[in-house]
Amino acid sequence: MKTARDTWLIFRRSLILTLRQPTWLIFGIMYPVLYLVFFGPLLEGAVGQSGGDVNAYNWFVPGLLVQVALFGSAFVGFGLIAELRYGVVERMRVTPMSRTAMLLGRSLRDVVLLLVQALIMVALSIPFGLTLDPAGIVLSFGVLALLGLAVAPLSYAAALALKSEDAFAPLIQGVTFPLLLLSGILLPMALAPQWLQTLSDINPLTHAVDAARALFNSDWGNPEIAIGVGLTSVLAVVAVWVAARTFGRAAS
């Protein structure tokens, strides 16, 4: 009860403060938009030549949405490092507020923002030939939200541990870039040699991408939906638990 109330308070505060600096919106979708415009047509040509029957954008855009969710949540620790420096986090740690709410309030803000960004991406993709199924969009956005809840808390935990942008930025880049390349967002992993496919199968992001693709295109019978949703849910629970503990621990 108290946690829910405090979560709402922190969610509202952090959302309002973020909206006062709207540059986040542009930076968050800059790379996905570039991929959409400069890489999408290339992919369309390749898929067309190989005689595939699926619309290239309906294959490509769900992956880009996962990319939006990944980047929209992996870098949120930057904001927390600024808050640490302002003394805001320490000030709130001295209040009796719920420690879990410190994490959840911010993470839910991140989820809302990444869903807004994903919605903008979908809208931008329509002129390229993306076809829409409302139920598919809603359910695939659920996967994006779960992914945000799995990644943002870990970003916060890393920020609390490192406390400096200089250490945080290379860590996040070093983790997200291989995850992205191995996830099959840009090209189908079916084209990859076996060892690369194996690496890709170990990558949890691959399964989130596959689930998002299946849901987006209303491919309800696809077993990847259960695998992707299940795996991402487990990751989200673990991430929230770990990061809430980090927020709760008195600094040492």
Q: Is residue 251 a contact residue for other proteins (CB under 8 A)?
A: yes
Distance in Å, CB of 20 to other proteins, minimum: 5
Can you tell me which of 59, 93, 116, 237 binds other proteins, judged by CB under 8 A?
93
Q: Is residue 1 a contact residue for other proteins (CB under 8 A)?
A: no
Contact segment (CB under 8 A) with other proteins among 58-66, 80-88, 123-131, 142-150 equals 80-88
Cβ proximity to other proteins: between 19 and 34 the closer is 19
Distance in Å, CB of 106 to other proteins, minimum: 13
Closest Cα partner for 67 from 237, 209, 218, 228? 209
Pattern 17-36, other proteins, x by CB under 8 A = x--xx---------------
Distance in Å, CB of 10 to other proteins, minimum: 8
Distance in Å, CB of 7 to other proteins, minimum: 12
Distance of alpha carbon 205 from alpha carbon 184, whole angstroms:
9
For the chain, strand residue ranges (E) read none
Distance of alpha carbon 135 from alpha carbon 156, whole angstroms:
32
Distance in Å, CB of 160 to other proteins, minimum: 13
Distance of alpha carbon 61 from alpha carbon 216, whole angstroms:
9
Can you tell me which of 23, 50, 94, 202 binds other proteins, judged by CB under 8 A?
94
Task: List residues near other proteins by CB under 8 A.
Answer: 6, 9, 13, 17, 20-21, 83, 86-88, 90-97, 250-252
